[in-house]
Amino acid sequence: MLTRQFSLTKKNDDWRKVKVYGTPIEWKKEVKYLGVVLDEQLNFRAHTSQIKDKYNKAFIAQYSLISRNSSLNFNKALIYSAYLRRILIYASPIWASTARSNLRSIQVLENKTLRMIANARWYRRNIYIRNALNVPSFQQFIQKLAKNFYGKLPDINNLELAKIPAFEHNDKQNRKSPRMTISL
């Protein structure tokens, strides 16, 4: 079992080392938990770079099937939505409150892939490509997932979840809250 510790604060870094069975545990700047990389400031920059690396590896593996001169014309969008998009959206209701620049870098990967699938020219707008392929935008898809995810939370029978106060997503002060992905 791998044990790590990290702090979610910008304050003092002089923390005592915790010992498990006499072995001191080192402090880390980032920790991977359930496939999501958490860092000290919860800006998810490390997680988005990990997503881009995973996506690029999967894209290279599927390149021969979705390239411009592939003969699978009707199945390219299906390969994208069934395999490649899943990599981009894993745990997105949690990390989608990241900076717009991080979201934009992921959206660029998606646009590049859709452009290749549709064999579109450089002057064709991304929105037209999405409409032709019947693929919602990255932001719309994340919002839909977040609405489903946060809509189901009150129905879960968990005493600890019941202690969390109600969230008003109209409050603009909580822009960095993960639940703000509903109103991006």
For residues 61-67, average pLDDT: 92
| Pair 98, 45: CB distance under 8 Å | yes
Average pLDDT on 68-95 reads: 90
Q: The tokens of 44 are what? A: 């998810």
**83-87 mean pLDDT:** 94
pTM of the full structure: 0.79
Helices (H), the chain: 45-66, 76-79, 85-89, 92-95, 100-118, 126-133, 138-152, 159-162
Classify 30 as helix, strand or coil: strand
Residue type, 180: M
pLDDT of residue 108: 95
Closest of 140, 39, 149, 7 to residue 91, by C-alpha: 149
Domain ranges in the chain are 67-151
Amino acid 118: pLDDT: 92
CA–CA distances in Å: residue 48 to residues 129, 149, 167 = 24, 20, 26
Q: Which of 24-38, 52-66, 136-150, 162-176 has the highest mean predicted lDDT (pLDDT)?
A: 52-66
- Give the H/E segment covering residue 9: none
Per-residue pLDDT at 41: 80
Lowest mean pLDDT: which of 18-22, 31-35, 43-47? 18-22
Could you report the per-residue pLDDT of 116-157, keeping only the tens digit for each?
A: 999 999 899 999 999 999 999 998 999 899 888 888 887 888
Question: If you search the block for the tokens 């202690």, which residue do you land on?
Answer: 163
**Residue bearing the bigger pLDDT, 4 or 65:** 65
Q: What is the dihedral of CA 162, 168, 169, 175, to 10 degrees?
A: -90
The pLDDT-based confidence of 30 (bands split at 50, 70, 90) is confident
What was the pLDDT predicted at 70? 86
pLDDT at 113: 94
